[in-house]
Every structure is written in C-alpha cells, then in structure tokens.
Structure 1
C-alpha cells in the first residue's frame, strides 16, 4: 500500500514538474528554427486512428498549422481562410495539416462545421507542441475549455498559433509564430512564401 501511495505521489510530482517546465506565457516560448526538423511523433486522426507525422511529411511539401482548438473563434476563422487557399497550395505541390490539442471527436466537429478538405490531427498530450517549442502553460481561465476539447487529456497547455512550411525531409523552411493569438498569417503572404520556396 505504501508503495502505491509513493508511486501516486511521484506521478503527481512529475506532472507538476512537467507543467512547470513549460514557459509561463506565449511570449516566452523557444520554437524550433528554420533548418531544424519537425520531430517524428504519432498523432490521432479525426477517425481516432494513429498517424505517423513523418510518413505524411515525407510524401510532399507541407504547410503545418498549429491552432488552439475548435473552441477558439480566431482559429476557426484561420482554418476557414486556409480552406480558401488550399487549391492554390495544392497546385504548388503542398499539403495542409492542421494540429491542435482537441481530441479526435472534437476535431470531427471542427472538420464538419468548417467543411474542411485538409487533414486535422490531434496532439492532445502535447507531445508535438512541446517538442516544437510552442507549448506554454494555459492560463486558469482556459483550463476547463481545453480539458473539454481534449476529453480530459489536456488541462495544462496551449500551443501558440503557428504555421510552418516544411520540405519532404521534415525540415522547416519558413515559420510564422504569433504569441498574440488574434493575429494570423494572411493567405496572400502564405501563398507568396510557398511560391518563393518552390523556385
């Protein structure tokens, strides 16, 4: 019994330390830089199936988007804008993959509501957001809403909204990271960058 209590306390302590290891605010993050590789992780699809991110990225150049969740109106506006740019990006040889801490069921709601054709993936544990260096400690007033969106898996972190353009080696060729979640990259800028990287 003592052993179980000790293990439980150790687990709680590690969780608290992991939370404390995250930057306290969106302006304190230290994201990966241009030229660095996006780490290989397994995420979940809308259908709750495991998806190897590197396998997807090595198939074609990728516009990788991190958003806060389907509960965020600014994220939904950005996802809808990406849908408008999708054809042009596809014509340039890119695919769009959008990632949040929402659980697959919540992703499906976002997907259906936005009638999105591109891929949405779940990073509920934050493994990818933390590895990319864009996760930070969620303010108290967000914890209930992110816990609901992730079906209880996440109640501690938020990703800073970010867009990465990757080559087939998973290397970052461009990044747009916005600690102010209300500001997002415009389609015009995104397409202009995608075209310039295509030359």
Structure 2
C-alpha cells in the first residue's frame, strides 16, 4: 500500500472517529496556516538548500556538505514521534531506503524533537537512516518552514496527552511544515514538497522518480 493511500485511510479514520468540534478546530488551524503565505517563502526546486550541521541521537554531527560528497541527499522534516502521520511517513521511507541507496542517495530526517526523543522515534520505527535533532527548530526556521503551534491546538494536544514541551524542550512550540527535499550533488533542490497540511507527505515513489531523473 502506498504512503498516500495510508495517509488517506488515516485521515478518513480521524474524520469518522473524532468529535466534530475537534475536527473544526484542527481544520481552522490548517486553513489559517495555508492562508498565512508561509509556503511562499519555503525553498523551491532550483534553489540551493541551505547547509546544516545537525546531530543524531548518538551525538554524531552530520553536515549537508559532507553528505553531498557521496551523492544526492533526501531531506525530510517531521513533527514528532507522537504524530501518527509522521510515523506512517517515516516507516514508508524506511521501507524504500534500499531503493534510495541503490540510486546513490543518502536519506535523513530532521525533527525539532530533543535527541532522546528522536532516538525513541528511530527505535520505534526501526529506522536505519539518520534522525537529526533541529533543537528549537532553528534550521527549519532559517528555511522559512516554521510556524508556532496555535493555542487552540496546544489545548487539544494536552487533552490528547501529547506533551510537546517534553519532546521539544521548555516553551518550544515551533514546528516545521510537512516538507521533503530531493537535493542533487551540487546542492540544488530538484524536488520540493512543502504542505501546510501535515496529513500529506511526499510519496516514496516520487522521491525515486526524482532520483532516477538525476
């Protein structure tokens, strides 16, 4: 089953099971984010992806410049291990990791979660690619991908038992948009997926097509 199909099934299940007032709050927050114009400032195909130096849960720092020496790099952003859509995407990317590697690409995921939490995410989803901690979402912010979780959603998450500050640090409610970039060896973005609706992600097959085109 494709990632897109899995995400659609998850959206349908939420629509059927969540109270209408909860769905309305979530829908309004997504609409407001779309109308904010945030996507207009996000990196696009043809842009150079800004360099990063971020640490994995084992304390090893990964530099984009060094990863690109070996070939193209696929960079995906996710919100946290508490997000079911993020977990579906991460598992789907893991399932296609061998294909990415065969096409010469390195795959990395970037999250605002603290290292201990990102380690839990990697272990839970049996990930064999680097999960890098973007503490305070500083790198994502530099790319123009960051928004602050509105109070209405913070309250909802508390009711759901999601402790954002436990995952991201005290007073940290900044999240990256759902975004994935396929970056050529020279640092140029050849495929950019950015969506204000976190329930949508770039399908692995689209990543593979972009890598084959290189």
Fold-level match, TM-score > 0.5? yes
Match 2:167 to one of 146, 149, 155: 149
List runs of 5+ in structure 1 lacking aligned partners: 1-23
- Aligned partner of 1:67 in structure 2 is 78
List runs of 5+ in structure 2 lacking aligned partners: 1-31
Task: State the distance in 2 between where 1:133 and 1:164 align.
Answer: 14
Q: Within 5 A, what are the aligned runs for 1:111-190? A: 111-140=122-151, 141-142=153-154, 145-152=163-170, 155-190=172-207
The answer to whether the 8 Å contact 1:44/1:122 transfers is: yes
- Aligned partner of 2:116 in structure 1 is 105
Number of residue-to-residue matches in the alignment: 173
* Deviation of 1:147 (Å): 1.7
* Deviation of 1:178 (Å): 1.6
Task: State the distance in 1 between where 2:134 and 2:205 align.
Answer: 28
The answer to whether the 8 Å contact 1:26/1:160 transfers is: no
Q: What's the TM-score once normalised by structure 1's chain length?
A: 0.79
Question: Alignment partner of 2:47: what SS?
Answer: coil
**Aligned alpha-carbon RMSD (Å):** 1.9
Task: State the distance in 2 between where 1:59 and 1:125 align.
Answer: 29
Match 2:43 to one of 24, 32, 35: 32
Deviates more, 1:27-36 or 1:104-113: 27-36
Deviations 1:91-122 (A, max 9, x none): 01111000010111001100111111111100
* Deviation of 1:45 (Å): 1.1
Question: 1:156 and 1:150, CA in 2 relative to 1: closer, same or farther beyond 3 A?
Answer: closer
Q: Within 5 A, what are the aligned runs for 1:85-96? A: 85-96=96-107
